[in-house]
Amino acid sequence: MKEKMKKLLEKIGHPFQMFNEDGTYQGCFYPIQVLYPEIPRYKLVSEDVEENYNYGMAKIREYCDEVSPNDLKMGDIITAKYNKALHVAVYYEFGKIIHVFKEHSLQIGRLKLFSEFQSYRVR
């Protein structure tokens, strides 16, 4: 995991595209796609934020197991509802996450940005 995380950290501050070449959505799923290329790409299923949230959570649950926030390890996936939409991040270390907000570059942030979140570990 440390080697994969090193590759992800090299992308901090660099611009990225909101959509992959195949038309699938990248957005905040970008760090997950870098760390876990084996997980299928996220597809926006409608204009409805709630529908996309439910779809995204179903996909995460399909490939991950929920873990306790007290058991977070490098590379775990953090999910939260942010402005009614699904926001995902990757846990880094010491309460820090790697994530991207719409139209911004990949960045390191603090987990406490989210008052409520769920955490998952890829199987």
pLDDT tens digits, residue range 91-119? 999 999 999 976 678 999 999 988 899 99
Taking a C-beta distance cutoff of 8 angstroms, is the pair 116, 80 a contact? yes
Per the CB < 8 A criterion, the answer to whether 123 and 63 are in contact is: yes
Which tens digit of pLDDT belongs to each residue from 21-39?
887 888 888 899 899 998 8
Residue position matching structure tokens 């979140």: 117
Structure tokens at 87: 């926001």
For position 45, which CATH number holds? 3.90.1720.10
Dihedral sign for Cα 53, 58, 63, 68, please.
positive
pLDDT of residue 97: 97
Domain housing 54: 2-122
53-76: pLDDT as tens digits: 998 899 899 999 999 999 999 999
Number of domains in the chain: 1
pLDDT score at 103: 67
